[in-house]
Structure 1
Amino acid sequence: MTLVVLGVDALDPDLVDADAHPNLTLAAHGAIGTIDSHAGEPSTHELWPTIITGLPPSEHGLELGDDGVAWGNPVLEFGSAVADYLLPDSLQTRLGAWLLTNTDTDAFRTPATYYADNGLTTVFDGREAEPIGVPNYVVDPDSEDREHALRRSLGDLFERDPEATGGHTSSDPETFYEQCMEMAMIRVARARRAYRGGRHELVFAYTSGLDLIGHVTYDRPELQRAAYDELDEFVGELRADLGDDDELLLVSDHGLQDGVHTHEAMVAATDGSLVESIESVTDVRAAIDAELDGTDHSGTPTHRPAAGEGGGVGGDRVKEQLEDLGYM
Structure 2
Amino acid sequence: MTLVILAIDALDTKLVEHYDIDEYRLDGHTQMETVAHQFEHPFTPEAWATVATGLHPTEHGVTEEGTSSWDNPLIDFASQFVGHLDVHTRAWLGNKITALTGEEYTVGVTDSPTIFDPEYAVVHNWPGVANGAELRKTWQITDGDPPKEYFERELKGMAVQQFAWAREMAQHPISLGGVHVHTVDMASHAYGEQEDELERLYRWTADQVRHVREGLGEDDELLILSDHGSYTSFLDPGEVPGKHAFRAFASTTHPDGPPESVFDVKEWVEERIDVSEYEESNLDLPKEQLRDLGYID
Instruction: Show the 5 A alignment for 1:141-156.
Output: 147=134, 150-151=137-138, 154-156=141-143
Distance in 2, matches of 1:96 and 1:32, equals 26
Aligned partner of 1:271 in structure 2 is 254
Q: What is the deviation of 1:106?
A: 4.8
Q: 2:183 is matched with which residue: 188, 206, 209?
A: 209
Unaligned regions of 5+ residues in structure 2, if any? 233-241, 284-297
RMSD: 3.3
Distance in 2, matches of 1:18 and 1:77, equals 45
Change (3 A) 1:132 1:106: farther
Aligned partner of 2:244 in structure 1 is 261
Instruction: Show the 5 A alignment for 1:229-268.
Output: 229-258=203-232, 259-268=242-251
Unaligned regions of 5+ residues in structure 1, if any? 158-169, 309-328
Aligned partner of 2:153 in structure 1 is 178
Matched, 1:291 2:248: no
Instruction: Determine if contact 1:130/1:203 at 8 Å carries over to the other structure.
Output: yes
Q: What is the deviation of 1:264?
A: 1.9
| AA partner of residue 99 (structure 1) | G
When Rg is computed on C-alpha atoms for both structures, the one with the higher figure is: 1
The TM-score with structure 1 as length reference comes to 0.72
Aligned partner of 1:161 in structure 2 is none
Instruction: Determine if contact 1:45/1:64 at 8 Å carries over to the other structure.
Output: no
| AA partner of residue 152 (structure 2) | Y
Q: What is the deviation of 1:219?
A: 2.4
Distance in 1, matches of 2:143 and 2:18, equals 35
Q: What is the deviation of 1:154?
A: 2.0
Q: 1:73 is matched with which residue: 69, 73, 77?
A: 69
Aligned partner of 1:98 in structure 2 is 93
Distance in 1, matches of 2:84 and 2:207, equals 42
Change (3 A) 1:74 1:226: same
Q: What is the deviation of 1:183?
A: 2.0
User: What SS class does the counterpart of residue 161 from structure 2 fall into?
Assistant: helix
Aligned partner of 2:51 in structure 1 is 51
Distance in 1, matches of 2:30 and 2:82, equals 41
Instruction: Determine if contact 2:10/2:229 at 8 Å carries over to the other structure.
Output: yes
Distance in 2, matches of 1:101 and 1:288, equals 39
Change (3 A) 1:200 1:90: closer
Distance in 2, matches of 1:88 and 1:21, equals 37
Aligned partner of 1:138 in structure 2 is 130
Aligned partner of 1:187 in structure 2 is 162
User: What SS class does the counterpart of residue 273 from structure 1 fall into?
Assistant: coil
Aligned partner of 2:293 in structure 1 is none
User: What SS class does the counterpart of residue 154 from structure 1 fall into?
Assistant: helix
**Percent same amino acid at aligned positions?**
25
Instruction: Determine if contact 1:255/1:261 at 8 Å carries over to the other structure.
Output: yes
Q: What is the deviation of 1:260?
A: 1.3
Q: What is the deviation of 1:153?
A: 5.1
| AA partner of residue 162 (structure 2) | R
Matched, 1:125 2:117: yes
| AA partner of residue 127 (structure 2) | P
Q: What is the deviation of 1:138?
A: 2.3
Give the number of equivalent residue pairs: 269
